[in-house]
């Protein structure tokens, strides 16, 4: 690793001031699992590191309007084991549980993972399906945007220079709704997905038809994507093999995977269609259970 200056400010304002002062030379570090690895491989060589680790309160996981707000410094393990997350959005706890190993989940933070903008990660997929918003802070103030609009390209996000991710807000599921995360992982359990799909399904009160659905995929392009075309096919329809096949075909047309050691682009495209069917089936089942509970 190349030499760099290091600051560990105790407040967000201080951190933003240091970032502003050092411009392009500066990088934000939190858990470090992505950044230190890239620095060791000399993929990035920042001249100044601003650590957020000593900023108090940035790791809180709290109830927010029926949903949940997760501070940027919460670790993946914090989310996975949070009683609040497990109670309100078990699919989110389950998604974070699928990331790497316990050891890495103890280090990697929610905000750091978003800022890293790696399209092969698990959490963004479920966050997009759940309609989560990422909170961003810069010296000019705060803003928030849907997670699906946050990712711009391979390892590129909507963060402007001097801005940091401070949290993510995840709304509660609508009544009579279910959610599922399906990670296709033919290699080792701590690997990135070959294809990952998250889906939410809301059903009519009688459970007969889909009212609305959201579908997101990871590892199928340069960013995680939302499959709006497939979502549109589901509204108003009854569950069935034909419907799932149609949704799968629509997704296969929407993804643009890269060939790598986890599979060829053609294979990933095919598996994206299969996994969408599985995710929808599980989300739909969960929605029926939820609908029964509200009747």
Query: With 0-12 CB in 10 A as exposed, 13-18 as middle and 19+ as buried, what is 243?
Result: middle
Work out the number of other CB atoms within 10 angstroms of the CB of residue 21: 13
Biggest CA pair distance of the chain: 63
Residue from 8, 17, 158, 174 binding another protein (CB under 8 A): 8
Q: Are strands 61-64 and 133-138 parallel, antiparallel or unpaired?
A: unpaired
- Based on C-alpha coordinates, what's the Rg of the chain? 19
Residue 206 tokens, joined: 């009688």
Residue 112 tokens, joined: 């750091």
Q: How far is the CB of 41 from another protein (least distance, A)?
A: 8
Q: Which stretch binds another protein (CB under 8 A): 58-66, 100-108, 250-258, 260-268?
A: 100-108
Residue from 12, 17, 84, 104 binding another protein (CB under 8 A): 104
Q: Is residue 117 a contact point for another protein (CB under 8 A)?
A: no
Strands (E), the chain: 5-7, 26-29, 48-51, 61-64, 67-71, 133-138, 141-146, 151-153, 156-157, 164-170, 177-184, 195-203, 210-218, 225-226
Q: Is residue 172 a contact point for another protein (CB under 8 A)?
A: no
Nearer to another protein, 192 or 239 (CB): 192
C-alpha to C-alpha distance for 75 and 86, rounded to whole angstroms: 15
Q: Is residue 11 a contact point for another protein (CB under 8 A)?
A: no
Using CA atoms, how far residue 4 sits from 31, 41, 294, in Å, is 17, 15, 57
C-alpha to C-alpha distance for 175 and 152, rounded to whole angstroms: 32
Nearer to another protein, 189 or 241 (CB): 189
The 184-223 site mask, x for binding another protein (CB under 8 A), equals ----xxx---------------------------------
C-alpha to C-alpha distance for 137 and 15, rounded to whole angstroms: 11
Nearer to another protein, 106 or 264 (CB): 106
Site for another protein in 217-276 (CB under 8 A): none
Q: Is residue 106 a contact point for another protein (CB under 8 A)?
A: yes
Site for another protein in 31-90 (CB under 8 A): 32-33, 36-37, 39-41, 49, 51, 53, 77
Q: Which stretch binds another protein (CB under 8 A): 1-9, 18-26, 158-166, 249-257?
A: 1-9
Nearer to another protein, 39 or 55 (CB): 39
Nearer to another protein, 44 or 235 (CB): 44
Residues at the site binding another protein, with contacts judged by CB under 8 A: 1-6, 8, 29, 32-33, 36-37, 39-41, 49, 51, 53, 77, 100-104, 106-107, 188-190
């Amino acid at each position: 690793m190349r030499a760099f200056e290091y600051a560990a400010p105790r407040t967000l304002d201080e951190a933003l001031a240091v970032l502003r002062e050092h411009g392009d030379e500066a990088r934000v570090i939190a858990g470090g699992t992505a950044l230190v690895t890239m620095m060791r491989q000399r993929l990035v060589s920042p001249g100044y590191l601003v650590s957020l680790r000593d900023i108090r309160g940035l790791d809180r996981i709290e109830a927010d309007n029926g949903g949940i707000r997760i501070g940027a410094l919460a670790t993946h393990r914090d989310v996975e084991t949070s009683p609040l997350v497990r109670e309100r959005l078990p699919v989110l706890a389950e998604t974070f549980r699928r990331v790497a190993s316990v050891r890495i989940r103890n280090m990697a933070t929610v905000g750091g993972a978003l800022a890293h903008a790696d399209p092969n990660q698990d959490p963004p997929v479920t966050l997009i399906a759940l309609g989560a918003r990422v909170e961003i802070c810069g010296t000019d103030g705060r803003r928030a945007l849907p997670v699906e609009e946050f990712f711009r390209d391979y390892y590129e996000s909507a963060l402007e220079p001097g801005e940091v991710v401070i949290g993510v807000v995840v709304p509660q599921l609508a009544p009579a709704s279910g959610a599922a995360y399906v990670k296709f992982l033919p290699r080792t359990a701590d690997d990135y997905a070959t294809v990952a799909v998250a889906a939410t399904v809301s059903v009519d009160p009688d459970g007969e038809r889909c009212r609305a659905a959201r579908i997101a995929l990871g590892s199928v392009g340069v960013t995680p994507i939302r499959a709006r075309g497939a979502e549109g096919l589901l509204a108003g329809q009854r569950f069935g093999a034909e419907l799932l096949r149609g949704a799968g075909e629509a997704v296969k047309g929407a993804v643009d995977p890269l060939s790598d050691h986890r599979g060829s682009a053609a294979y990933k495209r095919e598996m994206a269609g299969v996994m969408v069917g599985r995710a929808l089936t599980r989300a739909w089942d969960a929605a029926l259970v939820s609908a029964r509970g509200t009747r």
